[in-house]
């Protein structure tokens, strides 16, 4: 159920509020373009600056708009176990198919603390969820051994792996087996990660080229590895450009340049520098996504 190209969807804003009309339009566009799943309220969705009520509303709007056409994996993580449990329960009540829980950030728990955090949530909520392992943002990596311990719980079904190290990923897959779903958290590693047993990607780049990211994973599953590799390299520059500044600054800027949203961000995120904006435009023009500078 959870494989292929799953977009980490941006949250469009207008005049400081969630732009619900643009959000619904983005979801419909993704379904038309072949996206295999949607993550609302992830890092790319600026979950860190959504209020509790906004977070709930965005999840609800996504679930209702998708209407079971593709899976919805709702962002529900927190550095507070109690708060993450509340958000996961809400995702379940809203009708999400699964949740995505970032490992606790800033407070730097031990591996035992991480284990207890996830097990507490898994034992409190009847909703399958993915661990989100992104030490570049959280300061602590969930080790392969800890992930293997957690994988024995029926509600802990996989991991979004944004460690950026294929050796780590290989260890996770080797310890947890094929029934545990490993999804890439780095677009530039999706193809090689699938080659060692990953099932797909939770993608930033899919916000911009949903058809190409879904086509790459489709080609891989069809055994068309040369085509999958071709699409990997075709989207490589875009994947790099998505992190030319902190995510989601580049992806929202790109969507604004493409006329999909207005590009509004919430502080402490701010507009992209002019130099990086020009670099981003060059990549978009190279991919025929932007005819001329705006």
Catalytic residues: 132, 160
Please report which residue ranges of the chain form alpha helices under DSSP H.
20-33, 52-66, 81-94, 111-124, 135-138, 144-150, 166-176, 190-195, 210-221, 225-234, 236-241, 249-257, 274-286
* Residue 179 backbone class (left: φ over 0; alpha: ψ -120 to 50; beta: rest): alpha
Cβ atoms within 10 Å, residue 179: 8
Phi, psi of 78, deg, nearest 5: -160, 160
Residue from 159, 161, 210 nearest 185 by CA:
161
* Cα first-last separation, the chain: 40
Residue from 177, 174, 169 nearest 193 by CA:
169
For 243, residues 6+ apart whose C-beta sits below 8 A from its C-beta are 204, 250
Residues 60, 130, 138, CA angle at the centre, nearest 5°? 100
């Amino acid at each position: 159920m959870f494989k292929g190209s799953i977009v980490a969807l941006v949250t469009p804003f207008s005049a400081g509020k969630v732009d619900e009309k643009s959000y619904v339009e983005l979801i419909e566009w993704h379904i038309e373009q072949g996206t295999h799943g949607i993550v609302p309220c992830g890092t790319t969705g600026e979950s860190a600056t959504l209020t509790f009520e906004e977070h709930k509303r965005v999840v609800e709007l996504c679930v209702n708009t998708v209407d079971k056409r593709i899976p919805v994996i709702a962002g529900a993580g927190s550095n507070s176990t109690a708060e993450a449990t509340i958000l996961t329960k809400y995702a379940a009540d809203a009708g999400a198919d699964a949740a995505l829980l970032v490992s606790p950030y800033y407070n730097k728990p031990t591996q035992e603390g991480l284990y207890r955090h996830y097990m507490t949530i898994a034992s409190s909520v009847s909703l399958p969820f993915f661990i989100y392992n992104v030490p570049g943002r959280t300061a602590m990596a969930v080790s392969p051994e800890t992930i293997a311990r957690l994988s024995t719980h029926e509600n802990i079904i996989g991991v979004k792996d944004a460690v950026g190290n294929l050796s780590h990923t290989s260890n996770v897959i080797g310890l947890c087996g094929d029934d545990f779903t490993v999804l890439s958290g780095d677009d530039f590693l999706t193809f090689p990660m699938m080659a060692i047993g990953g099932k797909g990607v939770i993608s930033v780049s899919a916000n911009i080229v949903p058809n190409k990211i879904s086509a790459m994973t489709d080609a891989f599953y069809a055994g068309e590895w040369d085509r999958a590799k071709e699409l990997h390299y075709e989207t490589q520059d875009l994947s790099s450009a998505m992190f030319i500044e902190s995510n989601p600054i580049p992806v929202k800027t790109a969507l604004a340049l493409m006329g999909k949203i207005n590009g509004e961000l919430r502080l402490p995120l701010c507009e992209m520098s002019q130099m990086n904006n020009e670099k981003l435009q060059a990549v978009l023009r190279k991919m025929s996504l932007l005819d001329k500078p705006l």
